[in-house]
Chain A
Amino acid sequence: MSSPADVVETKPSLLDLFLAFAGIAVMGFGGVLPWARRMLVERRRWLTADEFAEVLSLGQFLPGGNIINVAVVVGGRLGGPFGSVATVLGLMAAPTIIVILAGALYLRYRHLPSVHGALSGMAAAAVGLIISMGVKMLQPFITKRALVPLLFVSLTFVAVGLFRVPLPLAVLVLAPLGVAAAWRGLA
């Protein structure tokens, strides 16, 4: 713990892994990734900033929740299969209970007009959250003027957003094409 820059050498226990990710989950109202970085890189020093960036980009393009994939990979590297189980359980336990409690409240009070209105207003704001997420993901491609990636962004948007192609079909067709184009681009 005394070396300021380096990653901690001793392997964390399964309980440490569980608690770290439980902490990330509970603090992460409205977005867990900044908290994941703070916990893993700055507080626990299990990963360097570069390692975190690499694990994060892996978690983002694999199927599944980004932060769940990050938990699986980090848990696996630090504690093998049981490490992954510990991190994922840590991440999921409290949110699952909280959201079921919220669901129970919703069931009880959803007939009230003000609850109905509040949720409609919240849903509208939540869509803004996803728009802003899309804009932030798009920005690097625009600043780099990466034309081929932008073409695939547009193709995907048109197929799924405008023509409502089912997600599995869109992914099965577009992902291999995207990878093939990237492969050629690297030559």
Chain B
Amino acid sequence: MSDDHSPLSTLFFSFAFLSLFTIGGVNAALPEIQRQVVHVHGWMTDQRFADLFAIAQAAPGPNIIVVTLVGWEVAGIPGALLSTVAMFVPTSVAAYIVGHFWHRFRLARWRIAIQAGITPITVGLVAASAFLLARSVDTNVVAVLITVASAVALTATRVHPLVFLATGAAIGAAGFV
């Protein structure tokens, strides 16, 4: 269907639509983004997506810049900018509106129910995302060990995440992954 259109408009509308469901942040939506760009639109391989995911996690700033890289891979700089805008503008408008009245209703039952009801779903989404990404990325024993080691260490210690990303990169560059 989208073959007749420029990938720019497809990129824009896919990400703008998807952004509205990224409760729990973009990390919770990574498998869905992967499904869209790899399996629905065929823009890249799983391997390429995993590479972009790794670069985005190591880069400074908000996690949504993974879509900047995806857009760039698909349609160059215009794709990068358009995907980024699609990913944060709709949700930012929503956050602006909600942010305005949220504080005023902080004791209202409906507001407490909304927050209490949605938060567990964000946790489930992050867990599902972690599981699916692990299945996609951890294709050999060394990769599994890197994932497990960094998960345990990051949960139990306050060591900076970049230490683990750099260690994983070093092990991979040496040819073990």
Contacts and interface: CB of A to CB of B under 8 A. Distances in A.
A11 interface: no
Contacts, number: 391
Contacts of B18: 167-168
Which size class do A's interface residues fall under? 35 or more
Contacts of B169: 118-119, 121-122, 125
Interface residues of B, number: 110
A164 to B, nearest CB: 8
Interface in B81-109: 81, 84, 87-88, 90-92, 94-96, 98-100, 102-103, 106, 109
| Most chain A beta-carbon neighbours within 10 Å: one of B17, B27, B87, B130 | B130
Interface of A is mostly: helix
A130 B138 CA distance: 14
B58 to A, nearest CB: 6
A182 B150 contact: no
A95 B61 contact: yes
Nearest to B143: A124
A162 B160 CA distance: 31
A160 B22 CA distance: 13
B1 interface: no
Nearest to A59: B95
Interface stretch (A1-9, A38-46, A106-114): A106-114
Given A63-B91, A72-B96, A178 B120 contact: yes
B126 interface: yes
29 contacts: A29-B59, A29-B160, A31-B161, A32-B62, A58-B115, A60-B119, A63-B91, A64-B91, A65-B22, A72-B99, A76-B99, A84-B96, A91-B62, A100-B72, A115-B173, A118-B170, A120-B172, A122-B165, A123-B53, A124-B150, A126-B57, A127-B133, A152-B120, A160-B129, A167-B21, A168-B21, A175-B23, A182-B114, A186-B112
Report, nearest first, the 10 A-B pairs whose CB atoms are least far apart: A121-B172, A156-B124, A95-B61, A64-B91, A128-B150, A125-B168, A161-B128, A179-B117, A30-B161, A73-B99
